[in-house]
């Protein structure tokens, strides 16, 4: 999320056999920016689900159901416990507000037993935050976060953001978040984050512009935890950065930072401008892109693939839906393409990279990707909250399952999934993460340019 989180933010998208909800598995700082996306409901089903959600809340809040016989099993038990609490608990008054808090906690606890870091309950604030994330602006520190086992870690700080300027780095694991008084700036509370969901961590980190937050992280090879006092600001992270990388050979470069609602439009405008400058080849840089909206992944994949599957989605019942390239969208064209990827290229990034690879529309260069091939569906509930569920998995057009295996602590085992590059290139240790202007130490970019120059030479001899 972003203050962004990766993999979860829904919005209705185009329809094939079913319509799909766009969910960005953003990392809170997009933090949540994960690329979550999944099927949504038709209107009749949505109304039915909303009624069911409202009935569940009504039962939990102790409001008699219209038909007492309809409440049975776990729902009735929840209602019974709340009734006893309201009647007999002596240490606090169980009013409507507290009842709602208890209900939300019960739902969160229930979902936690699934041991699925991508499934969760979003209270009204979380749900609003997620929608803001997909729209592309927020107030916070400007870092992209993701769940990492029982922890939350930084995917990347957004260049130029407060998180970037104080020195937060990709791979930092968040240990605690310190809350400051908005008026005095004094640190008043430190909250450990181990075991907290990414939405909870994002909520701690985000806040009004001009206020302070302390983020303490564990960094690889650091002798002790590092603490950063960060002043929040309004963040509008750039979705696209584009320029002519090699002006002599006209090799363009587009850095795509995430798949939010603006991604396809900005990418196409950037490519149109580069074409006017005479671009003959393209480096598409998906490194550190944590994902975003499924619809955007399909649209951007369609810019490179003329026809055929962009991604295959398999539902719980085993039924598969193929999301095809949109033939009506203008295409990049038959030019040499190199796609830069690494271990922080996730979800929607993997959909696009997999489609380009499987359709032989370009060469993947760098390191294997993150390995998240799961689809989340967002179900809005009657009180303004929402339920985010893993409802399906996806495969690349060739049928490849890219999901990582997980260890006993629910941490992804890197290398057990993801998409392998066509040309594996380890990054130079002297290259600073996401310093895309550092071309001297960017060995992966150098390789991509070498490959494209050779492709252009071969094409010229034909």
Catalytic amino acids?
347, 358, 372
Q: What is the CA 395 to chain-centroid distance, rounded?
A: 18
Domain for residue 425, yes or no? Answer: yes
Q: Which residue has the higher pLDDT, 19 or 288?
A: 288
The predicted structure's pLDDT at residue 16: 32
What's the pTM? 0.69
The predicted structure's pLDDT at residue 75: 83
Q: HEC states along 339-358?
A: EEECCCCCCHHHHHHHHHHH
Domain for residue 1, yes or no? Answer: no
Domain for residue 226, yes or no? Answer: no
Identify the residue whose tokens are 């070498």: 450
pLDDT band at 287 (very low <50, low <70, confident <90, very high): very high
Instruction: List, in sequence order, every residue forming a beta bridge with 253; answer none if it has no partner.
Output: 243, 283
Say if residues 256 and 233 touch (Cβ distance below 8 Å).
no
pLDDT in tens, 25-45: 332 223 343 333 433 344 454
Q: Residue 216: how many CA atoms within 13 Å on its side-chain side?
A: 13
CATH number assigned to the domain comprising residue 435: 3.90.226.10
Domain for residue 445, yes or no? Answer: yes
The whole-number average pLDDT for the span 306-312 is 97
Query: Percent of the chain beyond pLDDT 90?
Result: 62
Say if residues 252 and 242 touch (Cβ distance below 8 Å).
yes
Q: Which residue has the higher pLDDT, 1 or 302?
A: 302
3-state helix, strand, coil in the chain (%, to 5): 30, 30, 40
User: Helices in 65-196 by DSSP H: which ranges?
Assistant: 74-88, 96-112, 124-135, 162-166
Q: 271-275, 300-304, 338-342, 343-347 — which is least confidently predicted?
A: 343-347
The predicted structure's pLDDT at residue 301: 98
Highest mean pLDDT among 129-133, 341-345, 427-431: 341-345
| Tally of structural domains, the chain | 1
The predicted structure's pLDDT at residue 335: 97
- Model confidence at 357: pLDDT above 90: yes
The predicted structure's pLDDT at residue 109: 93
Instruction: List, in sequence order, every residue forming a beta bridge with 144; answer none if it has no partner.
Output: 2, 156
Domain for residue 154, yes or no? Answer: no
The predicted structure's pLDDT at residue 434: 66
Euclidean distance between CA atoms 137 and 436, whole angstroms = 22
Q: What is the CA 68 to chain-centroid distance, rounded?
A: 41
Q: How many residues does the chain have?
A: 462
pLDDT in tens, 40-86: 344 454 444 444 444 444 444 444 443 444 446 888 888 899 999 99
The predicted structure's pLDDT at residue 352: 98
φ and ψ of 393, to 5 deg: -130, 160
Q: How many CB atoms lie within 10 A of CB 128?
A: 14
The whole-number average pLDDT for the span 194-222 is 93
Average predicted confidence (pLDDT) for the chain? 84
Identify the residue whose tokens are 């608990």: 89
pLDDT in tens, 96-113: 999 999 999 999 999 999
The predicted structure's pLDDT at residue 182: 92
- Model confidence at 209: pLDDT above 90: yes
Q: Which residue has the higher pLDDT, 19 or 382?
A: 382
Exposed/middle/buried for 107, CB within 10 Å: 0-12, 13-18, 19+? buried
Domain for residue 328, yes or no? Answer: yes
pLDDT in tens, 376-410: 888 999 999 999 999 999 999 999 999 988 887 77
- Model confidence at 178: pLDDT above 60: yes
Q: Which residue has the higher pLDDT, 439 or 434?
A: 439
Q: Which domain, by its residues, includes 453?
A: 240-373+392-461
pLDDT in tens, 139-160: 899 998 888 888 999 988 988 8
- Model confidence at 120: pLDDT above 50: yes
pLDDT band at 184 (very low <50, low <70, confident <90, very high): very high
Euclidean distance between CA atoms 350 and 341, whole angstroms = 9
Q: Residue 46 is encoded by which pair of tokens? A: 């949505």
Q: 46-55, 148-157, 194-203, 263-272 — which is least confidently predicted?
A: 46-55
């Amino acid at each position: 999320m972003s203050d962004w989180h990766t993999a979860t933010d829904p919005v209705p998208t185009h329809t094939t056999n079913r319509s799909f909800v766009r969910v960005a598995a953003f990392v809170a700082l997009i933090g949540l920016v994960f690329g979550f996306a999944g099927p949504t409901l038709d209107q009749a089903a949505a109304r039915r689900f909303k009624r069911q959600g409202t009935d569940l809340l009504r039962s939990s809040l102790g409001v008699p159901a219209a038909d007492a016989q309809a409440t049975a099993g776990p729902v009735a038990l929840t209602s019974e416990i709340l009734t006893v609490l309201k009647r007999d608990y002596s240490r606090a008054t169980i009013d409507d507000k507290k009842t709602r808090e208890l209900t939300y906690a019960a739902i969160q606890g229930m979902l936690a037993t699934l041991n699925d870091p991508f499934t969760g309950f979003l209270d009204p604030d979380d749900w609003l935050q997620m929608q803001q994330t997909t729209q592309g602006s927020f107030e916070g520190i400007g870092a992209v976060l993701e769940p990492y086992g029982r922890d939350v870690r930084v995917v990347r700080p957004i260049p130029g953001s407060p998180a970037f300027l104080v020195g937060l780095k990709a791979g930092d694991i968040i240990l605690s978040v310190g809350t400051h008084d908005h008026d005095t700036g004094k640190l008043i509370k430190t909250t450990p984050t181990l075991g907290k969901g990414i939405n909870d961590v994002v909520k701690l980190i985000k806040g009004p512009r001009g206020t302070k937050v302390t983020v303490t992280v564990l960094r690889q090879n650091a002798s002790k935890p590092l603490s950063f006092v960060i002043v929040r600001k309004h963040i509008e992270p750039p979705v696209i950065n584009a320029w002519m990388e090699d002006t002599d050979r006209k090799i363009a470069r587009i850095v795509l930072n995430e798949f939010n609602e603006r991604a396809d439009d900005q990418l196409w405008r950037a490519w149109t401008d580069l074409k006017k400058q005479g671009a003959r080849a393209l480096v598409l840089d998906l490194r550190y892109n944590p994902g975003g909206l499924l619809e955007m992944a399909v649209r951007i994949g369609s810019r490179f693939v003329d026809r055929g599957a962009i991604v295959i989605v398999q539902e719980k019942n085993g039924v598969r839906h193929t999301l095809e390239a949109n033939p009506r969208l203008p295409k990049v064209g038959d030019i040499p393409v190199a796609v830069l990827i690494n271990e922080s290229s996730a979800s929607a990034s993997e959909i696009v990279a997999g489609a380009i690879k499987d359709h032989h529309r370009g060469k993947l260069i760098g390191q294997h990707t993150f390995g998240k091939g799961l689809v989340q569906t967002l179900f809005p509930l009657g009180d303004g909250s929402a339920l985010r569920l893993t409802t399906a998995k996806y495969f690349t057009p060739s049928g490849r399952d890219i999901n990582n295996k997980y260890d006993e602590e629910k941490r992804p085992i890197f290398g057990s999934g993801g998409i392998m590059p066509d040309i594996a290139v380890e990054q130079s240790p002297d290259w600073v993460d996401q310093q895309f202007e550092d071309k001297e130490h960017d060995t992966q970019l150098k390789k991509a340019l070498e490959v494209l120059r050779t492709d252009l030479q071969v094409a010229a001899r034909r």
